[in-house]
Amino acid sequence: MRQSGRSRHQKRARAQAQLRSLEAYAAQPHSFVFARGRAGRGVRQLSLDLRRVMEPLTATRLQKLMRLPGGPTLTFRINKYTLVRDVVSSLRRHRMHEQQFTHPPLLVLNSFGPHGMHVKLMATMFQNLFPSINVHKVNLNTIKRCLLINYNPDSQELDFRHYSIKVVPVGASRGMKKLLQEKFPNMSRLQDISELLATGAGLSESEAEPDGEHNITELPQAIAGRGNMRAQQSAIRLTEIGPRMTLQLIKIQEGVGEGNVLFHSFVHKTEEELQAILAAKEEKLRLKAQRQDQQAQNVQRKQEQREAHKKKSLAGMKRARAEADGDSDAEDPGAPPEAEGAGQEEEDEAEYFRQAVGEEPDEDMFPKARRRRPTGPPSKKRQIKERKLDRGSDRRPPKAKGKPWGAQAKLGPRQAARDIGRGRARPSKKVA
């Protein structure tokens, strides 16, 4: 029976392809665009349009966390700008759809020549905003947009333009070009199709824009579209889709928003001022390093104090436990031989006293002799001692649950004697 679904090798290949695509996406440069401070409606809309230009490698809704590079920071001033809706409304026809924004635009830099280090740094910054392109392996179907940045060395301004790219075949009549388009022309007023191919009847001049050597090229590979075949002549047409800006570089600064100012358009400092700024920067760095070393030493010292306090506390707890246990861990060396001999002699004398008198000797007579537990009835001396102990106690014997006082357990001889002495019970008379 044939198995449905993908095989194990197909699933593995698909997972590996997804992993490679994710790694390639993470390796590409990313960006995010936002307005600083309180901005008006136009500036907010301009920031949204600029995000549209930077798609798809940008934060559309600013919901990403990323690691920023170490700078430098370039600050521009926007002298003029035009929003996307204004640019599109000024065109008779525009080509802008969602598929154009699935890939980053093609970056074109113009007139960034040897005009100074700041111009070279600007070009490098713009190049690093977008992924690099290998001209030998690039797929032309992924290039749907173009971002043109032109530098004017006289005014020191940047012209920012955003275009959509359309590729059409050349060498055909206007009627043939109309047939090759996706939308078929209206031929209700024509008698035959030859009228459309020969004269291009019913077509406007804007639908047959003249092409020349400036935009005609030979395609190295086939491109999506009717008639765009490999090694055939095609025309590259650009349509502006906005936004449009005129920028001016203000300053270049080290780091991210802080550091030495490498270039400034309006402030020019002498060599002595630069040296003083550099010395102040070095002093600030030295003080910062000193504070960091001091903080590290304080942390190390506090750590050592905590460790010493911990060891001291553990030692005190162990010593208190040993004193409470009576030094139970120490070995008992046993009694010396002389003490053992003396104890044996007192044991013999205590045994002789028991046999002669018939009673147990007092505890202070033979302290080293072992005391025997009495097995017979208590002696008179012991009974008197027990009575004295019982008189000193005012506790009443507990009452059995659910039983009256007369129904308690049968008393033994000693308890009966104690009760007689206290007056609690009297011995029963024997009946002859």
DSSP 8-state symbol, 165: E
Token output for 140: 């032309």
Average pLDDT over residues 279-295: 90
Find how far residue 308's CA is from the centre of its chain: 35
Residue-wise pLDDT for 298-313, tens only, equals 999 999 999 999 888 8
The structure's pTM equals 0.55
CA distance 110 to 113: 8
Q: Which residues of 291-320 are buried (b: 16+ CB within 10 A; e: fewer)?
A: eeeeeeeeeeeeeeeeeeeeeeeeeeeeee
Report yes or no: 112 and 120 within 8 Å, Cβ to Cβ.
yes
DSSP 8-state symbol, 230: T
Pick from 395, 387, 349: which is nearest to 368 by CA?
Answer: 349
Using a 10 angstrom Cβ sphere, with 0-12 exposed, 13-18 middle and 19 or more buried, the burial of residue 144 is buried
Share of residues in the chain with pLDDT > 70 (%): 67
pLDDT of residue 431: 46
CA distance 295 to 298: 5
DSSP 8-state symbol, 101: G
pLDDT of residue 66: 55
Domain boundaries, the chain: 71-186+212-268, 270-313
pLDDT of residue 371: 59
Q: Can you name the residues that pair with 147 across neighbouring β-strands?
A: 107, 162
pLDDT band at 206 (very low <50, low <70, confident <90, very high): very low
- Radius of gyration from C-alpha coordinates of the chain: 53
- Residue 269 CB partners (closer than 8 Å, separation 6+): 277
Lowest model confidence (mean pLDDT) among 79-93, 258-272, 395-409: 395-409
